[in-house]
Chain A
């Protein structure tokens, strides 16, 4: 009786492990890039479209102005996986019509954030 109970517990534990592995796999599965453009946050705030060239974006980023990512009507602040702000990195992509970012999205105090694992022109 004790033996069969033990076997049942073991099966239950194995099932739980396999189920959680599946869930984990699903959570990581198929990260699709978010598509959008690199824009100047200041320009967007003051009613512009935010369009900038790579050189302009790099200059703005050097001066501390935020370079952000616009996908549809949503503005994202992009961060590197190490937690640093990715504005300077993003500036290098400003010449591309479409940029794809693979990463995790978050909303912090109403601000949209992407923690980017890959940034690539498309």
Chain B
């Protein structure tokens, strides 16, 4: 009998210890669940400003109206970047001192004053070199077909140029993109698809089948890589009719090509400026009218600005 009492007492003691320890372990999660937690930002997008700067834009957390809302915190990896605190209400952030070709993961959380944070929202991006001038430190232009000046553009001419460069048909082998204005046309696109008699055919340059109307490259935010998902199959050697009535603003074309000797694409965004003094895109006086461009060029192959995630979307 005494043994039975001892046995049950021992069982009871053991149960008490187990229950007690269970109580102790479950206290924190229960407390955490009770803590109000901010909702995350949404629609995180980025654009490259220059070879060491990118700009981010997003929709603010709906929890900003909550009295507990504190701020946002941004973390950049890889590298030794200190976390950036973003004040409430600010949905534009510019990050500098980055390296072109390095794909950075940028994560943003919303924070409450009670130390709770939202689910992080991330994007992967790399800065790219911005060219507003050509190899001659002049504005980037290609000229109409009737002009003796060059109608073709090389997106990036290596050293000693280290910049975009305009070429005539005689140097057609160097063309990536070209302008064609014969028969009252205004055609811009892959050099291989433009009807010039090149002494040597240029190499293929592909363009995305989508055109972006925008004020500037700085305003062309994207949440996806330039080759993300279905986009990848929508690049082709092609041309665009710039007289299309749907084009009313500056235009941006997504372009990619193999630089000589490479088998991976270099990506670029080419902005064609609308004529500031009139309709359309041709500027200047005949027969030397021209279109003017700006170029964002990623010098590292296979870095389509944003990186394609495992789900074929930018993270």
Contact = CB atoms under 8 A, between A and B. Distances in A.
Most chain A CB neighbours (cut-off 10 Å) among B134, B167, B288: B288
Size range of the interface on B?
A: 20 to 34
A122 B138 CA distance: 14
A102 B166 CA distance: 16
Contacts of B315: none
Most chain A CB neighbours (cut-off 10 Å) among B137, B141, B167: B137
A33 B148 contact: yes
A100 B149 contact: yes
Which applies to chain B's interface (DSSP): helix, strand, loop or mixed? loop
Given A120-B150, A122-B149, A122-B150, A53 B160 contact: yes
Contact of B149 (A53, A93, A96, A118): A118
Interface in A98-122: 100, 102, 118-122
A1 interface: no
Contact of B135 (A32, A53, A95, A122): A95
B136 A121 contact: yes
Nearest to A99: B136
Interface of B: 134-138, 141, 143, 148-150, 160-161, 165-168, 170, 284, 287-288
Given A96-B136, A121-B136, A122-B150, 4 more contacts: A33-B288, A96-B135, A119-B136, A122-B149
Pick the 9 closest A-B CB pairs, nearest first. A92-B137, A92-B136, A120-B149, A93-B136, A122-B168, A33-B148, A95-B160, A30-B287, A100-B149
